[in-house]
């Protein structure tokens, strides 16, 4: 690993951690359920994406051969995250309708 790739990996890790943190802050701060739902689903896309990219670069350069696990993780996350979000949103709307609240 040379200085440039070390810098790149560090920057990606910090960026990923920052967006994951922001996702948690959003979960804490936003006022209602549907709005809170946005925060963690977003953290998975960019936050985890950047962390996994850093992992792929680091282990490809230091380990033996190209590291491809991360691509599989990204694919599975991107398939499952929207499904989870949609199911939670549906459950939330169902409960609101039942209790007769307006949103």
19 binds other proteins (CB under 8 A): yes
Pairwise CA distance, residues 101 & 97, whole Å: 6
The reply to whether 69 sits near other proteins by the rule CB under 8 A is yes
Q: Which of 32, 95, 94, 45 is nearest to 74 (CA)?
A: 45
* CA–CA distance, 65 with 82 (Å, rounded to integer): 32
Nearest distance from C-beta of residue 22 to other proteins, angstroms: 5
Q: Is 102 in the site for other proteins (CB under 8 A)?
A: no
Considering the complex, state which of residue 61 and residue 89 has its C-beta at the smaller distance from other proteins: 89
Closer residue to other proteins in complex, CB, 5/45 = 45
| Token duo for residue 16 | 């990923």
Find the binder of other proteins among 11, 86, 95, 97 (CB under 8 A).
86
Is 8 near other proteins (CB under 8 A)? no
Query: CB of 84 within 8 A of CB of 40?
Result: no
């Amino acid at each position: 690993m040379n200085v440039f790739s070390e810098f790149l990996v560090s920057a990606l890790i910090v960026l990923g951690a920052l967006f994951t943190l922001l996702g948690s802050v959003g979960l804490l701060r936003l006022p209602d359920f549907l709005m809170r739902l946005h925060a963690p689903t977003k953290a998975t896309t960019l936050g985890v994406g950047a962390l996994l990219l850093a992992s792929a670069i680091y282990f490809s350069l230091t380990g033996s051969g190209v590291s491809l696990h991360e691509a599989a993780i990204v694919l599975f996350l991107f398939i499952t995250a929207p499904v989870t979000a949609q199911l939670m949103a549906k459950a939330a709307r169902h409960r609101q309708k039942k209790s007769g609240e307006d949103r």
